[in-house]
Structure 1
Amino acid sequence: MVEVEVVYAAVERQVLLTVVVAPGTSLRAAVQASGIGAQFPELDLVDCPLGIFGKVVAHAEVRAVQAGDRIEIYRPLLADPKEVRRLRAAKAALARQQNP
């Protein structure tokens, strides 16, 4: 058996669960086996992005868990970071033009 952690950080609370699964279990299956979906019914555990220690895993349905993995469930972005930076830069440029 393999012991891993499943973590999710909602806006108002964070949860870390330890789950023991069979060797060869996929990341997605380990997340579903953790029962975290019962605590956060708004989560779409079938399609949500998953990662290991801060790095997104592209094929969570295929990648097998390893002992000690911390599987992270990521929330969808509310705003595109590149777009936010672009808007901030445009606002700063406008402020410089108005106040030379």
Structure 2
Amino acid sequence: MSEHLAIEVTYGLPNKQSLISLTVPPSTTVEQAIVLSGVLDIYTEINLSENKVGVWNRTCRLSDEIKDGDRIEIYRPLIADPKEIRKLRAQKAKEEGRANKITGAKQKRESSAKSSNNE
């Protein structure tokens, strides 16, 4: 077993991203690696009690031990709830008559045909 583990710590904003490579001793936790990387000094808005963290796109706890080659990711809080956004988008599509492209178009044609026959 090597004396040190080679890892990366990453964090990004829409206009600035950082990928910091460093070596840490075995048995280092995710939280210790983040502190050692210096990313908290670069991005002062990071709050480890609020921001979720993960290793290779899988959320983890700050107390988890890292392995050689791990990429620790610090996630930003979501601006909007994805479920709510999908619900609003579906509602808008319904209102515009494009919720179901097959039946929605058919319903439009049928209703316009009925109105043409009534004239």
> TM (normalized to structure 2)?
0.76
Alpha-carbon deviation of 1:50?
Answer: 0.7
- Once the two structures are superposed, residues 53-88 of structure 1 have per-residue CA deviations (whole angstroms, 9 ceiling, x without a partner) of 11111x222x10100000011000000101100000
Distance 2:52 2:22 in 1: 19
Which structure has more relative contact order (CA 8 Å, sep 6+)? It is 1
Q: Which amino acid in the other structure matches residue 31 of structure 2?
A: R
2:91 paired with 1:60: no
Instruction: Give the ranges of 4+ consecutive aligned residues of structure 1 lying more than 4 Å apart after TM superposition.
Output: none
User: What residue in structure 1 maps to residue 14 of structure 2?
Assistant: 11
Q: Which amino acid in the other structure matches residue 4 of structure 1?
A: I
Larger radius of gyration: 2
Alpha-carbon deviation of 1:38?
Answer: 1.0
Q: Secondary structure at the match of 1:68?
A: coil
> As a proportion of its length, which structure holds more helix?
2
1:45 to 48, 51, 59: 48
Number of aligned residues: 97
> TM (normalized to structure 1)?
0.89
- CA contact under 8 A between 1:32 and 1:45: conserved in structure 2? no
User: What residue in structure 1 maps to residue 96 of structure 2?
Assistant: 95
Structure 2, unaligned stretches of length 5 or more?
99-104, 109-119
Question: Aligned runs of 1:78-93 on 2, under 5 Å?
Answer: 78-93=79-94
Q: Which amino acid in the other structure matches residue 62 of structure 2?
A: A
Alpha-carbon deviation of 1:47?
Answer: 3.5
1:30 to 30, 33, 38: 33
Structure 1, unaligned stretches of length 5 or more?
none
Q: Which amino acid in the other structure matches residue 20 of structure 1?
A: T
- Once the two structures are superposed, residues 6-54 of structure 1 have per-residue CA deviations (whole angstroms, 9 ceiling, x without a partner) of 0011121110001211111111110111001111111113432111111
Deviates more, 1:10-19 or 1:37-46: 37-46
